[in-house]
Structure 1
Amino acid sequence: MSLIKKIYNKFQPFYPLPANDPAYVNCSEVRGDDDIFRKIGKTILFSDQATCQLYTGHRGVGKSTELLRLEDYLKKDGCFVVYFPATEGDIDEIDAQYTDILLACTRNILEKLKEYASPNPLLNWLQSRYTELKDLALSDVEFEKLSIEAQIQVFSKLTTSLRRIPSSRETIRKQVDNYSVSLIEALNEFIEDAQHKLPNDQSKIVVIADNLDRIIPLEKGNDRTSHEEIFLDYSSQLTALNCHVVYTVPISLAYSSQATELRNIYATPQVLPMIMVKNRDNKPYSQGLDKLKEVIEKRVHLVDSTIDIDTQIFDSQDSRIELCSMTGGHVRELMLLMQSVMRYIDDFPITTRIVRRAVSDARDSTYRNAVSSEEWQKLAEVSLSKSIPNDEDYRSLLFRRCVLEYREFDGEGNPVRWYDVHPVIEGTPEFQSALRDLTNSEHSAVSGQ
């Protein structure tokens, strides 16, 4: 039991790996040669002007781990990096607006750079808004009587209120929205001051706002959601910071009808796809499965480096391959399934029967409920075509990880994007029925020609 417990805790699904962690596995070759250093890092390092870039991918695919690696890479190349996971301390993902992101950036930049620059521009802005905000019980003391540190902490109280106290949101957002121009001017003055006072070996300031891809889309009318409102309608505010910025965004936004507008504003969003576990002909992709084996192996070997994965952790290679295949190449799903199978056993190895039990639980308790009755037909279409139409219904399936994105290389060595249904969903009776109906319909259409 002690061995199971030790290994179980090496598969934490909700904690990204820090940079240079020994459990990290580079999967770029089975993700269409994705490389965050080349695509985002070098854009920052090469550019003399401030840049604003977008990074996306399915939730749980490994974006935060890659962004922490990017933070380390940029620091080693002379950048001062302000990384923050927005939904952990600043933003409510269920109800978010651009004002929340702007305020979160302000709080984190101020907190990380206050030792290098005078906070006065930002504190003056806050003092001028304090009369309207005082009813939020930020402090019983008049603003000018607070210490400098206490004044700085008011920004933290504002973001905490935004995240935890819905009744306070309208008041805070109104002040930030009405006076966003002066807030950005104050923030840029602070950033410029810090830039001049940073050590000579830190030439660029970079802000990485993680977890914004978790923001839930809210309908705003005219076929637009809060995603378009935040990142397009208020893009002038989000791109106005006088430093390099990387925002994570929902994957559905990257493939919306507004993709060209996104490119015009931010350049093309960089996407972290799934690890390929099968190809477009539905045949197992051994290179991807080997990478997932390596992910398991590295974590197990942190407990005991002598353990053989396919004989001591699993009862056979087939059992391990079946579990890896059912993840769809989704790293968090791998963590969740590994923990799930270990809860069913008192001792290793893990059998195929246990793998199938854990997959069945995930199917019935989660994925089956994520699909509405009218969506099974759409999933069947994706399964056959390996593509998705430019339609909000399909983008919603992508956002919910019912449909997964992959990239592989064509005959000329260029990465090609394609899609497939999550393997766990493929085992549901509803999907199998929809797939049979669609296949029979296509055969009938061909026969009638």
Structure 2
Amino acid sequence: MERATKIRELLKVCKPLHLCGEDFDKFHVETSTARGQNSAVRLFNYLDVNRDEPQKILFMGHRGSGKSTELWQLRKLLGDDFRVIAFSIRDEIDISDLKYVDLIFVILNKIMDEALKDGVMIDKSLLDNLYNYWHNEQFIEQLKMEKVNAEASAEAKIGFFNAIRASVKGVLATGKETKKVVREFIEPKLSELITGTNDLITNISQALMEKGKMPILIIEDLDKLEIPVAEELFLNHRNILTELKIHTIYTFPIFLHYSEKFNEIKDAFSHYELLSMIKVNNKDGSENKEGRKIIKEILKMRADIDLFEAEALDFIIEKSGGALRNLFEMIQRAALTIMGRSGADKIDMAAVKNAYTELKSDFERSIARRHQETLVNLYNNRDKKPLADGNLMELLYCLAVIEYNGDRWCDLHPAVIDILKDKGLILDIAKR
């Protein structure tokens, strides 16, 4: 990715994608002064101190807040002391109805992939156990696979297991009825699968420790689960997620932080870390200069700031609420507007206001009538600390309500404030 010097190039540099690799080195801006803490450093310190005992960590934050970029920074800090196995759950399977058995299988699959990639010799007894687990005649027939003789060579068994893994992964990614078959096969024998996965982890850990490394799993995009799916996974099956004998970081939906049962979830895990949104306003509604300065620095790294009229730039920073994803979406929409005008060469107020109107429309479609009382009460509440309930969880899920750091407080997204003003539900002059 190259720094934008033309309006059209904003469409590339303002895609809502996390920074990694060379792009991280070129464009990353440290945001801890605006967020209140450096989550990557905190996670590294926690893991470094507790490296000898597998830690299960929840890493939460709003969608689009920068968690993936923060996790990339963590990977750089971990350096050569850890063997990082990182993946997005959305790249592996369909998450719309994700079940705990799906996640355990995906973890086994990814660990096996990395073991083979690293050339780790798989212990024969472990291979036999994996073979015995999956080599069920009825199950194989339902997956339309070929059987392998129990006396087959280790190479043949690895080949069979690889074929099973590919088939099950495909089913969990796209299957419907077949997905039910896979789950019904795994669920009654889940403890065996966890034992087999832990044996594989031990196998890999021993090989890595000879090289001075420690394995760690980083699982992204679990924070994007819908509320019922997330509750089923993290609340009802939280103990299963902590049974694997490997350092694991689970991205975690911020709305569950406001569940009445969050303490039950928290107590099952070793540690949790929250990446707060960058503050553009303070709790009393006044301008947060540090937060706005940081966001401007982020944009300066990616683009020539002269592509924006000063007033237009200040407007979209304020109206983003500190949500970088919303900021980049508005810039892209404004850039498309300018590109449609003959001779225009700057993002102006008309373009950003048009982009902001589209953002407001997106939020308006997410807010139901039952949410209005919760939103109005929070807007008028001076301490900005709402009580946990179902409405608040839904509003956090769609980013209508944002949590900020400091003494932990919430506020409405600026677009939502303007929607409520348009409806006459709150006064135009804030009662802060």
Report the more deviating stretch, 195-204 or 161-170. Answer: 195-204
Judging changes above 3 Å, is the alpha-carbon distance between structure 1 residues 256 and 34 closer, same or farther for their aligned structure 2 residues? Answer: farther
Measure the CA separation in 2 of the matches of 1:268 and 1:384: 33
Partner of 2:263: 260
How much has 1:418 moved relative to structure 2?
A: 0.7
Shift of 1:64: 1.2
1:341 to 321, 325, 334: 334
Question: Kindly tell me: are residues 430 and 436 of structure 1, through their superposed partners in 2, closer, same or farther at Cα, counting changes over 3 Å?
Answer: closer
Equivalent-residue separation in structure 2 for 1:158 and 1:97 (angstroms)? 14
The aligned length equals 412
Q: Does 1:361 align with 2:358?
A: yes
Is the contact made by 2:258 and 2:388 (CA closer than 8 Å) also made in structure 1?
Answer: yes
Question: How far does the alpha carbon of each residue in 1:110-148 deviate from its partner, in whole angstroms, 9 at most, with x for none?
Answer: 101222140752663354333243244353454767562
Q: Does 1:371 align with 2:367?
A: yes
Q: Distance in 2 between matches of 1:8 and 1:295?
A: 15
Write out aligned runs for 1:31-180 (5 A): 31-38=35-42, 40-47=43-50, 48-76=52-80, 78-90=81-93, 92-114=94-116, 115-118=119-122, 121=126, 124-129=129-134, 130-137=136-143, 139-140=145-146, 142=148, 146=156, 148-149=158-159, 151-180=161-190
Does the 8 Å contact 2:374/2:392 carry over to 1?
yes
Indicate if the aligned counterparts of 2:61 and 2:254 stay in contact, CA closer than 8 A: yes
Q: The residue matched to 2:244 in structure 1 has which SS?
A: coil
CA shift, 1:171, in A, is 1.4
2:203 aligned to which of 177, 184, 193: 193
Contact residue 376 and residue 431 of structure 1 kept, 8 A:
no
Q: Which residue of 2 aligns with 1:246?
A: 249
Query: 1:314 maps to which residue?
Result: 308
Alignment partner, residue 231 of structure 1: 234
CA distance in 1, matches of 2:205, 2:405: 39
TM-score (norm 1): 0.85
Deviates more, 1:174-183 or 1:18-27: 18-27
Alpha carbons 1:52, 1:246 under 8 Å: kept: yes
Q: 1:315 to 1:431 in 2, by over 3 A?
A: closer
In the alignment, structure 1 segments of 5+ residues that lack a partner are 219-225, 301-306, 409-415, 443-449
Aligned to 1:394: 392
Matches of 2:35 and 2:92 in 1, distance apart? 31
**2:208 touches 2:214 (CA, 8 Å); kept in 1?**
no
Secondary structure, counterpart of 2:198 in structure 1: helix
Rounded to whole Å, the distance in 2 between the matches of 1:215 and 1:259 is 16
| Paired residue type of 1:35 | S
> Superposition RMSD on alpha carbons, in Å?
2.5
What residue number does 2:279 align with?
Answer: 276
Alpha carbons of structure 1 residues 322 and 138: separation in structure 2 relative to 1, 3 Å: farther
Q: Aligned in 2, Cα 1:345/1:43: closer, same or farther, shift over 3 Å? A: same
Deviations 1:81-135 (A, max 9, x none): 1001011123x22111111111111111110122214075266335433324324
The structural deviation recorded for 1:215 is 1.2
Q: Give the SS at the match of 1:424.
A: helix
How far 1:73 moved relative to its partner?
1.8
Over the matched positions of the two proteins, sequence identity in percent amounts to 23
1:207 equivalent among 190, 200, 217? 217
8 A contact 1:208–1:245 mirrored in 2: yes
Aligned twin of 1:324: 317
> Are the aligned partners of 2:238 and 2:265 in contact in 1 as well (CA < 8 Å)?
no
Contact 1:123-1:151 at 8 Å conserved across structures: no
Name the counterpart of 1:350: 347
Look up the match of 2:409: 418
Q: Post-superposition shift, 1:298? A: 0.5
Over residues 197-239 of structure 1, what are the superposed CA-to-partner deviations in whole Å (9 max), with x where a residue is unaligned? 1263433110111111111122xxxxxxx43331233223211
Cα 1:119–1:293 shift into 2, 3 Å: farther
CA distance in 1, matches of 2:427, 2:387: 21
Q: Show the counterpart of 1:222.
A: none
TM-score for both structures, normalised by structure 2: 0.89
The Cα of 1:429 is off from its aligned counterpart by: 5.1
CA distance in 1, matches of 2:393, 2:262: 12
With a CA cutoff of 8 Å and minimum separation of 6, indicate the structure with the bigger relative contact order.
Answer: 2
CA spacing shift, 1:135–1:150, aligned 2, 3 Å: closer
Cα deviation, residue 151, structure 1: 2.5
1:7-46 paired onto structure 2 within 5 Å = 7-13=10-16, 15-19=17-21, 20-38=24-42, 40-46=43-49
Alpha-carbon contact 1:377-1:434 (below 8 Å) kept: no
CA distance in 1, matches of 2:224, 2:7: 32
SS at match of 2:329: helix
